[in-house]
């Protein structure tokens, strides 16, 4: 019998009249790699935000490493690390400074920190650019840096929200190899969301398919395929979630970027 490290029961989040997450329940075992699959706007990110103390749930129970992220925020934060879907780097610091900042606020001892930072920067191919400002980086480079940063401290639970979106297969593979190594050697639990079906199929022990705030099915990739009588996880996914294309609201971030530049002058 495995011990569960994440336990969610009837978790709900309403934004005014809109229900982003609608009474979901699931469990993740310790040391497991768990994938959350769902179309845009399914509630994946909202769920992760509630689990990582950034949002308070409207209803429902959560337990993360035995702690309630809604009530025992400071203690719960010690149990996990997260790579966000949206950018979360400081553009006006260098790559190395972003890494160093992370290592320091997560209290990774200085020597370990330095070793891991150079190892990880090599892993994501950014070691030569370590002293460059992040604002000079391309989207893919920023993404690689964010993933590398999330791996400096080795948390008990690692959340990855669409970690490999926009990365080439080489980078994706080397990153996943490293994450799987941490998963094996340190028993780190991995909770990730993705759009890449083959990625979920390849690395996840359990896959949960979520749509419109509800979990439709969960199980191993094989179980989901036989359940839906389909040949691939992608077919199983489409069969469960339907073929309609989802709308997502755009953000005013580009306007803001411009406003910031002007204001800074």
Q: Measured from the CB of residue 44, what is the shortest distance to another protein in angstroms? A: 15
User: For residue 121, what are the CA distances in angstroms to 149, 162, 177?
Assistant: 9, 20, 15
Nearer to another protein, 89 or 120 (CB): 89
Q: How far are the Cα atoms of 11, 67, 76, 233 from residue 70, in angstroms, in the given order?
A: 11, 9, 9, 34
Applying CB under 8 A, the span of 31-39, 89-97, 116-124, 238-246 interacting with another protein comes to 89-97
Widest pairwise Cα distance in the chain: 61
- The span of 47-55, 171-179, 182-190, 234-242 binding another protein (CB under 8 A) equals 47-55
With CB under 8 A as the contact rule, the residue among 27, 91, 223, 234 that binds another protein is 91
Please give the size of the binding site for another protein, defined by CB under 8 A: 37
| 179-238 residues near another protein, rule: CB under 8 A | none
Residue 100, interface with another protein (CB under 8 A)? yes
Query: Binding string to another protein for residues 60 to 79, with x set by CB under 8 A, is what?
Result: --------------x--xx-
The verdict on 82 binding another protein (CB under 8 A) reads yes
Binding to another protein by residue 101, rule CB under 8 A? yes
Helix count and strand count (H, E) for the chain? 10, 9
Q: Where are the alpha helices (DSSP H) in the chain?
A: 44-51, 73-77, 95-105, 110-123, 139-150, 169-186, 197-203, 221-228, 233-241, 253-264
């Amino acid at each position: 019998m495995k011990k569960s490290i994440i336990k969610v029961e009837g978790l709900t989040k309403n934004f005014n009249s809109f229900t982003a997450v609608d009474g979901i329940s699931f469990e993740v075992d310790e040391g497991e790699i768990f994938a959350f699959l769902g179309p845009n706007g399914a509630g994946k990110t909202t769920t992760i935000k509630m689990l990582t103390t950034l949002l308070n749930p409207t209803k429902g129970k959560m337990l993360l490493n035995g702690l309630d992220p809604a009530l025992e925020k400071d203690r719960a934060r010690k149990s996990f690390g997260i790579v966000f879907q949206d950018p979360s780097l400081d553009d006006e610091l260098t790559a190395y400074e972003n890494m160093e900042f992370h290592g320091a606020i997560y209290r990774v001892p200085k020597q370990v920190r330095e070793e891991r930072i150079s190892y990880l920067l090599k892993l994501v191919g950014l070691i030569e650019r370590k002293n460059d400002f992040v604002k000079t980086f391309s989207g893919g480079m920023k993404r690689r840096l964010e993933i590398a940063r999330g791996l400096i401290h080795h948390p008990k639970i690692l959340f990855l929200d669409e970690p490999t979106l926009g990365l080439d297969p080489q980078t994706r593979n080397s990153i996943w190899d490293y994450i799987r190594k941490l998963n094996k050697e340190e028993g780190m639990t991995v909770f990730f969301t993705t759009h890449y079906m083959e990625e979920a199929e390849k690395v996840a022990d359990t896959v949960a398919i979520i749509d419109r705030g509800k979990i439709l099915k969960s199980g191993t990739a094989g179980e989901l395929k036989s359940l839906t009588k389909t040949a691939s996880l992608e077919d199983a996914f489409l069969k469960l979630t339907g073929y309609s294309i989802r709308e997502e609201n755009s953000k005013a971030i580009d306007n803001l970027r411009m406003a910031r530049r002007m204001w800074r002058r």
